[in-house]
Amino acid sequence: MKKLGKVLHQAKSGNLILKTDIFLKPSVPVYDASNRKVGYVIETFGPVSSPYVSVKPTTDRVRKLIGAHLYIERE
Domain boundaries, the chain: 2-72
Q: What is the mean pLDDT of residues 59-72?
A: 92
| Gap between the Cα atoms of 53 and 64, Å rounded | 18
| Gap between the Cα atoms of 16 and 65, Å rounded | 9
Cα distances from 68 to residues 1, 15, 48, 49, in angstroms, run 15, 14, 23, 22
pLDDT confidence of 60, banded at 50, 70, 90?
A: confident
Indicate the CATH number of 2-72 among 3.50.50.60, 2.40.10.230, 3.70.10.10, 3.30.450.20: 2.40.10.230
Strand partners, 54: 17, 43
Tell if the pTM clears 0.85, that is, is over it: yes
Q: What is the mean pLDDT of residues 33-61?
A: 94
Q: How many CB atoms lie within 10 A of CB 27?
A: 9
pLDDT confidence of 75, banded at 50, 70, 90?
A: low
What is the reported pLDDT for 56? Answer: 97
